[in-house]
Amino acid sequence: RMDQALLLVRNELPAPGLNLAARSGSCHQCLYQFLAFVPPSNESLRKPGTASVMVDTQHPLTLLLNSSVGDRNLCKVQYHFGEFGNYSLVVKTLSTSTQTVSCDLIINEGPINSYLPILFAFLVYMGILAILIAGRLLMKIDPVRNWVYKKLNPRATDRMINSELGSPNTTDSINCDPTPHPWSTASRRRLHSLDTFRGLSLVIMVFVNYGGGKYWFFKHESWNGLTVADLVFPWFVFIMGTSIALALGSMLRWGSSKWKVLRKILWRTFVLILLGIIVVNPNYCLGPLSWDNLRIPGVLQRLGFTYLVVAALELLFTRADSGTWEGRFPALQDILPYWPQWIFILVLEAIWLCLTFLLPVPDCPRGYIGPGGIGDFGKYPNCTGGAAGYIDRLLLGEKHMYQHPSSGVIYQTTMPYDPEGILGTINSIVLAFLGLQAGKITLFYKDQHKQIMSRFVIWGIVMGIISAILTKCSKEEGFIPINKNLWSISYVTTTSCFAFILLLLIYYLVDVKKWWSGAPFLYPGMNSILVYIGHQVFANYFPFKWKMQDSQSHAEHLIQNLTATTLWVIISYILYRRRIFWKI
């Protein structure tokens, strides 16, 4: 099967036989898991005992062979098997006098390179990009452009050329007034870097949710650590906070009262939570949705509640005029006037720390933040997530939580655990608030590109330093490891560090130098809610999914997942061209 290899164990030792166990390199402090009993050799027939097992190829494995009687360890082998490879492990005696045992691993049939489809897909997309860039450069040549004018509708062609591949030059970026305004050079230019950042996060999220080619690094980490899939949701939360700063200031400048803005915030929160519970609910796989198995937490629910808290917090202290702050430290004008917000966020973080490390959890050690299951040598099998899991089970009930957490595969946990649970929402608020800070920087230092970029760099460095201290630059041994399931504070500082740096690069390329229009990520970024809900609702419909010829092929899964993701980018582009935007 996919991500597996065949291992044939040949036992040339006499009775009593061997027990073969294995432990994954990605499973921290885990118990060895029994794989097979290998019978002893038949000395009269000179025939070795054999056993065949399937072994995982996603991570390095440690194989342990011991005697079936007395549990004596004979040998330990560490190896990273290759997908669809065929291997033999020969166990024999080197010296009868010293009873020295050797375990030799032999490759019978070499594995395939399962990463070649990624390289091929990368080359295909780079080829498409090169063709589009070449076409755009050719359109700048007068004879070529004149020829196109003659062949195509002049009005449509002119609109295509002037739109910079579909990206308008000027829009009112943070206008929330439903009254349409003409797109003209007189209106203030929208920060396309924000839409591009949001769209990039969304495109990766869609690709990951569709399966990511079934590669392990496009799946969520089992417990501690970080993969590509673990970056996209926090980036989305971050840029939501950035948009809050811009949108609220814009609405107040347009004359909306704070009460009117608050009603809009409450309505948007209600719609997001309702969509998450009713429309995008993974517990549909358990049968028709009912209160008995309704998952209460979720991605949209987390976004909705985070938006409510951060937007309301900003509404309390934002001003319609964002003039220069006349204080003792003008360099901190985007921070010091909002010190009550910072106190509120620090209090929230103190609550998270206290609940996580001080709350007593039945049958679990205080402050436990491990995966449970076979982790920590199987001492706490029912303690998955510690206080975070306990609070959800206590307040929500096990049937109203996510039933298939990522820790179930490697750590073999049996307890339901929700990565979008109650306690983790505190740190998603902190992350959105850091994104809010990025939005304030762009407001206070409008058109001062060096000031904006330097502050993005400083914030990125500060968050990186905090992450290094909390994690000790280690995956497992830090004070607070990076953990997406827990939404640990180190996870927040690490992903926000990456977010500040990535936003800096996109801002420089799109809004400062204008070397890049933001396409194609700009388009889904401007229709993010529609694309997210649409890709969930139509996930199992053609042309986003079809029956495969070989379901055990990474290549076929990658083709299907990339096709589905590309289709949503194309759909968002068509909607963009028709100026159709679904806003809540």
User: Which of the residues are catalytic?
Assistant: 220
Tell me whether strands 86-95 and 73-79 are parallel, antiparallel or unpaired.
unpaired
The Cα 418–Cα 421 span in angstroms is 5
- Angle between the 154-162 and 142-151 helix axes, to the nearest 10 degrees? 140
Residues 6+ apart with CB under 8 A from 365: 380, 383
Closest C-alpha among 22, 2, 1 to residue 66? 22
- ∠ CA 485-533-230, nearest 5°, is 25
The two structure tokens encoding residue 501: 């740096």
Other C-beta atoms closer than 10 Å to the C-beta of 183 total 15
Q: 3-state SS of 28-70?
A: CCCCCEEEEEECCCECCCCECEEEEEEEECCCCEEEEEEECCC
- Please, which contacts does 326-335 make with residues 24 or more away whose CB atoms are closer than 8 Å? 333/444, 334/437, 334/440, 334/441, 334/443, 334/444, 334/445, 334/455, 335/437
Other C-beta atoms closer than 10 Å to the C-beta of 1 total 10
Instruction: For residue 47, give the 3-state DSSP assignment.
Output: strand
For 463, the enclosing helix (H) or strand (E) is helix 449-471
Residue spans of alpha helices (H) in 83-174 = 116-138, 142-151, 154-162
Instruction: For residue 494, give the 3-state DSSP assignment.
Output: helix
3-state helix, strand, coil in the chain (%, to 5): 50, 10, 40
Beta partners for 91? 11, 103
The Cα 7–Cα 1 span in angstroms is 13
Closest C-alpha among 436, 385, 376 to residue 406? 385
N- to C-terminal Cα distance for the chain? 44
558 near 209, Cβ under 8 Å? no
